[in-house]
């Protein structure tokens, strides 16, 4: 049996499956496995393993490595895990259970295809009591039933969970929500969410439909500024057997309306949000990190205020990279038991809207929904 232990050696060992001789030398020296610490790593930082070394898994690995929190990476395609290992030095595995058994971890990040999120989270919760936190890439699961089941299991096991709706951590969105909640533009009346880009058709099956893959970001943002009874109508275009683009209209009983333009077959990248309120408007460029504010009682060019947020890597912490802020929140939840900014209830609430959009698009009918304000449904962990 491999013994888990902490070491702070002067060398960086790449413990890969293709290196049995090196592995044997390490065992002969009495080192069983690099676990929570290695080269000059801060032993107080929670140690995290990544399950899934695809696009998002590699981003998480970079951020965790900078935080000295990367302790292992697993992917069924071992070459992907090996590439991350060779870049950052953390041990690589082809089986996430082997990683959990051989490396002392405080938490894991699940960045695998959407349809695997639930089963992996459940298996970890059932078998590995040492895990104190799980970060699940969006969406929480591929359907509402699985999401609710995962939430029950994680809550019963008292495992802290963060759902990576990373746009909630985007400094532009964060500042815009502050401006809206502070009454700067009055009550939001019409909000247009535009999220478009391109995804290779070969990746579509692992990502699910456009509503769950990218719509969850904007559905969560909406619920933080508008809530109550509403009617939803959605339409979509099918590619590779699933909705790859779509438009969703949500009309609240109080008169507020949100329009969502979602597409993964758009050349280029576009992420914007226009908020028209009773006192003014906000125009957000989520990529350019710019917020334009205009009061309704002013001439368009007389007193237009533009808030330009610092670029990535600025010293002002609040204006950091969204994924960095997700990881910071995750580590804090493990260390202190604090509530995450996006928890299980947020993931479930977004999926309720996803399923309503699917139903509307499939049958061509209006679907009634009830959007709960996020402040009232925040998870206990």
pLDDT (tens digit, 9 = 90+) per residue, 66-77?
999 999 999 999
**Cα dist from 107 to 47, 160, 328, whole Å:** 7, 9, 13
Class of domain 20-166: alpha beta
Q: How far apart are CA 288 and CA 311, in angstroms?
A: 9
> Could you tell me which residue, 55 or 317, shows the higher pLDDT?
55
- The pLDDT score that the predictor gives to residue 321 is 82
- The pLDDT score that the predictor gives to residue 294 is 82
- The pLDDT score that the predictor gives to residue 306 is 55
Angle ∠(342,271,237) on CA atoms, nearest 5:
95
* SS3 category, 206: helix
CB 34 within 8 A of CB 19: no
Q: How far apart are CA 261 and CA 302, in angstroms?
A: 31
Residues 178-189, mean pLDDT to the nearest whole number: 92
User: What is the DSSP-derived secondary structure letter of residue 234?
Assistant: E
Give the CA dihedral 212, 145, 356, 274, nearest 10 degrees.
Answer: -40
Residues 29-49, mean pLDDT to the nearest whole number: 52
CB 274 within 8 A of CB 260: no
Strand partners, 164: 137
- The pLDDT score that the predictor gives to residue 381 is 38
Confidence band, pLDDT 50/70/90 cuts, at residue 199:
very high
> Could you tell me which residue, 304 or 367, shows the higher pLDDT?
367
Q: How far apart are CA 209 and CA 239, in angstroms?
A: 9
CB 113 within 8 A of CB 107: no
User: CA quadruple 324, 328, 333, 335: dihedral positive or negative?
Assistant: positive
- The pLDDT score that the predictor gives to residue 307 is 56
- The pLDDT score that the predictor gives to residue 20 is 38
Residues 229-241, mean pLDDT to the nearest whole number: 96
Rg (CA), the chain: 22
124, pLDDT greater than 80: yes
* SS3 category, 32: coil
Per cent of the chain over pLDDT 90 is 73
Whole-number average pLDDT of the chain: 84
Confidence band, pLDDT 50/70/90 cuts, at residue 315:
very low
332, pLDDT greater than 50: yes
* SS3 category, 276: strand
User: CA quadruple 64, 65, 68, 74: dihedral positive or negative?
Assistant: positive
Tell me: the pLDDT tens digits for 255-292? 999 999 999 999 999 999 999 999 999 999 888 888 88
Per cent of the chain over pLDDT 70 is 81
Domains of the chain, by residue range, sit at 20-166, 168-310+343-376
Tell me: the pLDDT tens digits for 77-89? 999 999 999 999 9
> Could you tell me which residue, 250 or 43, shows the higher pLDDT?
250
Q: Which helix (H) or strand (E) holds 340?
A: none
Residues 84-110, mean pLDDT to the nearest whole number: 97
Tell me: the pLDDT tens digits for 135-149? 999 999 999 999 999
- The pLDDT score that the predictor gives to residue 257 is 98
Decide which of 2.30.30.100, 3.40.50.1820, 3.30.360.10, 3.40.50.10470 is the CATH code for 168-310+343-376. 3.30.360.10
CA 360 to chain centre: 25
């Amino acid at each position: 049996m491999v013994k888990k232990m902490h070491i702070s050696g002067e060398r960086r060992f790449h413990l890969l499956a293709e290196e049995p001789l090196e592995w044997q030398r390490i065992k002969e020296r009495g080192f069983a496995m690099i676990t929570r610490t290695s080269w000059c790593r801060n032993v107080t930082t929670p140690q995290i393993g990544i399950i899934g070394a695809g696009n998002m898994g590699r981003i998480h690995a970079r951020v965790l490595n900078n935080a000295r929190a990367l302790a292992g990476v697993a992917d069924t395609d071992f070459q992907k895990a090996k590439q991350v290992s060779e870049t950052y030095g953390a041990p690589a595995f082809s089986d996430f259970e082997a990683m959990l058994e051989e490396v002392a971890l405080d938490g894991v990040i699940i960045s695998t295809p959407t349809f695997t999120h639930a089963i992996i989270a459940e298996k970890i919760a059932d078998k590995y009591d040492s895990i104190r936190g799980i970060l699940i890439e969006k969406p929480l699961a591929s359907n509402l039933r699985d999401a609710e089941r995962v939430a029950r299991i994680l809550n019963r096991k008292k495992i802290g969970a963060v759902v990576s709706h990373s746009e909630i951590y985007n400094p532009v969105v964060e500042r815009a929500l502050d401006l809206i909640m502070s009454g700067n533009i009055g009550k939001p009346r019409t909000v247009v969410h535009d999220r478009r880009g391109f995804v290779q058709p070969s990746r579509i099956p692992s990502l699910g439909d456009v509503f769950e893959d990218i719509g969850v970001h904007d559905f969560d943002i909406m619920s933080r500024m508008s809530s109550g009874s509403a009617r939803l109508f959605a339409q979509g275009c099918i590619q590779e057997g699933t909705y790859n683009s779509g438009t969703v209209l949500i009309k609240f009983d109080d008169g507020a309306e949100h329009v969502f333009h979602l597409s993964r077959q758009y050349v280029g990248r576009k992420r914007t949000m226009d908020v028209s309120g009773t006192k003014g408007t906000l125009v957000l460029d989520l990529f350019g990190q710019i917020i334009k504010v205009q009061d309704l009682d002013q001439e368009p060019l007389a007193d237009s205020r533009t808030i330009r947020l610092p670029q990535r890597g600025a010293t002002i912490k609040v204006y950091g990279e969204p994924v960095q802020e997700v990881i910071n929140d995750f580590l804090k939840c493990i260390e202190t038991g604090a509530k995450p900014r996006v928890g299980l209830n947020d993931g479930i609430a977004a999926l309720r809207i996803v399923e309503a959009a699917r139903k509307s698009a499939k049958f061509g009918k209006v679907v009634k929904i009830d959007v709960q304000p996020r402040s009232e449904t925040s998870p206990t962990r």
